Structures are given as structure tokens and as C-alpha cells.
Structure 1
Amino acid sequence: MPGVLAGRAVIVTGAGRGLGEAYARLAAAEGASVVVNDVDGAAASAVADSIGALADDSDIATWAGAGRLVDACRRAHGRVDGLVNNAGLFRLADPGEQDPEEFRRVLEVNLLGTAYCGLHAIRAMLAQGGGSVVNVTSGAQSGTAALAAYGASKGGVASLTWCWAADLAGTGVRVNAVSPNAHTRMADAFERHLGSRARGQNVGKSPSSNAPAVVHLLSDAAAGITGQIVRIDGDELSLVPPPRPTRPVRIPEWTVAAVAGAFAGELGVTR
């Protein structure tokens, strides 16, 4: 019986190890022709060789590099049916010690890299009449200690997902995201840095346990799904809705005292 991605050409960025490798492996097992991208060319080649895929070492944090990656898929397979925007940098820092260049690089790879690959792939998908983009966000977008750069980048990825889905409604191109949780080198580094403050925040299992949700979103079985962020937490699957305002409080006269009263009263925020 053919896999759910039989005949599809799928790009997975940051697929030399960890979660990206798990996504690439399951996509290939489900019949996709996979392009394994990683700036670590040796890691990309090792994974690609083991699953009969094409390796690519383009730097997706640049417009030209993202374009080369998408072009490589089109040259090899004639089309781009799926893109998994997994590549990312993870840096831990408290605000008083944050290196500005490191902050910038995290945003370049995680946010701009996702945007650049997405824009190139979406143009190819529109030309061929359809496709599926799966971005990778994180629970850190909701606020996690020592992860300001990473969380900000992933919050931007969530916004890209919702905006692109609105832009592309009715075109045949779908855009969703996953918010994975797994025991990876990233999770281990996070727990070492935060110690007891990290307790209970990483409940993920292996990277491979996150891959089925990604493959489903790439497949025809998810043809009606777009604009969703899918959270995976151990054995739990949920959806992350866009931010919405709380129930508003009417302020009859805009004074500092009136705002303070609203916070202490109906908004319920005293400190």
C-alpha cells in the first residue's frame, strides 16, 4: 500500500539531526521524494544517503540560499509539494547578558529563514496549483525564561503561519505549523541552564513521536486544514489559537486612576 506522501516532493530544512531528521525519515517512509537540507553538509548527506534522498547544504537564512534550496527540489523532482520549515538556532541567555549579534542570528535563521524558504516555495506551489507548507513554532512563543530571542523568532513564525494562510485561502496552497516537544539536545541544554525552573516544561518523547503530525499536514488527508498551529506534548495533541483580546472593560473617562481601577477590578491583574 503506497504511503500518504507517495509521488510528492518534500523539502525539510534543518534535517541533519533531531526533529528535522525525524520529519525527513517519516516523509520518505511514506513515499515522498525528500530534499534533506542542513548547513552541516555532512549531516545532511548522512541522513539523505540513509533514506535515498537528495542532500542540500544551502544557508536558508539568506534569500539566495533559500532560493537555491527550492530550485534544487524543482530541478530534481519537477515540483515542490511540501516544505517543512524546521531549521532553527537555539540560544539561551538572560536579558542582562544577551549578546546582540547572537540575538540577530537567531532571528535571521529562525524567522527570516522560514520566511525566505516559504516565499520561494509558495511561489512554486502557486504556479503548480497547490502545496503544503508546515512551519515549526515553539511553546517558547508564549514566554519562557532565557529564551527571548528564540521565543520572539517563533512568535514571528506563528504570525507568518496565520497571515500566509489568510493570504492563500482558496489557492490550493495550505500553511500550517507544528509546535513540537521532544527530548533533544535543545531540551537538554534548556534544562541544564534553568535547573529547577525548567521542571515540567519538557514532557516530549522522542523526535520521531512528533513526525506523524507533520506528515499528516503535508498529506491530502489534511486538504481542508490551513492556518492551524498544532501542539504536540508527549501523548497530547492540541491546537494553539491566535491571540485574542480578553473581554473588554469600558473606561468612561481615560485617566490613570480609571485604568488602575480596571486592572484591579474586572481585568483582575493587581501585580
Structure 2
Amino acid sequence: MGPKTPLRYKKYNKIDQSQIQLWGLTQRWSKRTRNWVIPTLSAWARILALTEPENWSPHACRAATRIFISTMKPPQAQLFLSVVLLDAIREDIQEHKKLNVQYYEALKRALYKPGAFFKGIIFPMLDQGCTLKEAAVVASILAKVKIPVLHASAALLRIAEMDYTGPNSLFIRVLVDKKFELPYKVVDALVFHFIRLSNTYKARNRGESDRLPVLWHQSLLVFVQRYGSDLTPDQKDALLDVVRATPHAQISPEIRRELVNSVVRGAPRDDVSEDFEMA
């Protein structure tokens, strides 16, 4: 008579018996290495749950992230990031008020698949509602790591459709400050984002001012500094009206100066003409 199957296996009766036996072997491994074979299995998601990822050490989570990001397609990597890594980093920040370096390196590794990173980490954070501290940690990684412009453009389009929160404005500022050559569609969406929020923003808590927060003004300033020359005359006039209606004592004069002194979309730019003359 062979060994009995543990009770906790019964609800996973659709998993092949050989895979259950393999999982039994992996349970004897150290937490750093027991995840390595899982991405190659057909029922990897259910077997992953059996390994109790909520109890993994930071080192184990980093090692698993490296393997899953390297071996899996973007949709599967996105699932891993959203159900394992995201919960781990948010819990760690909440408990320690900072992020363990192993989790930080895991997030950097996750950006090797930028589409999965945005869909598995950033968008769920913003949809669920995250703290400014959590957003600042993840945004610091975005600021350091190179991101393909197509993925950044898609992310900006998605965030521009959201209502105002501090984390939303922070991610917009960080992505815009990377100085991508954004398509006009993205530039137009961001212009509409700033105009819409200036007309609809209301304080969420009693006692707070209905004036737009500093983070919104900062993200608008970075936007016009980087893309002022990609705006149409009508867009510049609309943003000048926004600044006039919702001013900030220190930031609004800078925004106004950038809008007034930059050329309009399609006009020759000073830096381009100078390069041509030197050539």
C-alpha cells in the first residue's frame, strides 16, 4: 500500500499525480530554490499556491521573480506579479515603512517584461488605491530603468483616464520626465487629463482644500517642460487658462513661462535649426 495523499492535496485533484509528487519534493528544498521547476509545469498556478508564496522570504521572492520573468510569457508573468510580488512588496512597505532590498531588486527584474510589470504591479496598485509611499518606491524604479516608449505610452494613456490621486500624478511625472518621444495621441491625452481634472477636482476629505494638490502642479510643470513644443496653440491657451483658474504661487509662473516661450507643434525648434547650421 503506497503513501497516502495529504488532505490538502484533495481540492487539487485535477493536478496530475506526478506533479503532486514533484511538489512534495520541492517542499523539502530551501525557500530560495523550490520555485525553479514550477514555471515549466502545466498547472503551475495551482502548484505555486501550494508552495505558500505569502510565507516566502524576500530572497526566495527575488529568486522566483527572476525565474518566472525569464521563462514565462507576459500574461503568465503578469499573473505571478499581481498575486505574489505585489502583495509581498505592499505588505513589506506597510510593516517596515521601507522596502527590503531583495524586493526592490525583484521589482527591477520584473521590468524585463514591462507590459507585465505595468499590468501586474502599477495598474492594480492604482486601481486598488495605494499609498504615496508605495507609489514613490515603485516610481523610483521606473525612473532608473529603461522602458520601451510603446509601453510607457500605453501606461500614460491608461493613467490619464483615471481620476486624480497623488500616486497617479507621481507616475505621470516620472514617466513624462524620462523624455520619451511620445506620440501626439499621448500628448493630447495628457493635455485633456490636466484640463479635465482642473474642472472636476474636489477634495475627498472634509477640511481639505478644493485647490489642486502640489503633485498635480508638479506633474503639469514637468509635462510642459518636456513637451511644450509638441502642443498646439489651442492646447497652450487651454493650459494657460487652467493655470489662471487654479494657480500655485511658486509653480504656476514656471508653467506659464514654459508655455509662452516654447514653439508650437510643427514649428521649427531652435535646437534643431542650430544643429543644422553647425552641420
Structure with more helix by fraction: 2
> Counting strand residues as a fraction of each chain, which structure ranks higher?
1
Task: Tell me if TM exceeds 0.5.
Answer: no
| Structure label with greater radius of gyration | 2
Structure with more relative contact order (C-alpha pairs < 8 Å, separation 6 or more): 1
Tell me the TM-score normalised to structure 1 length: 0.32
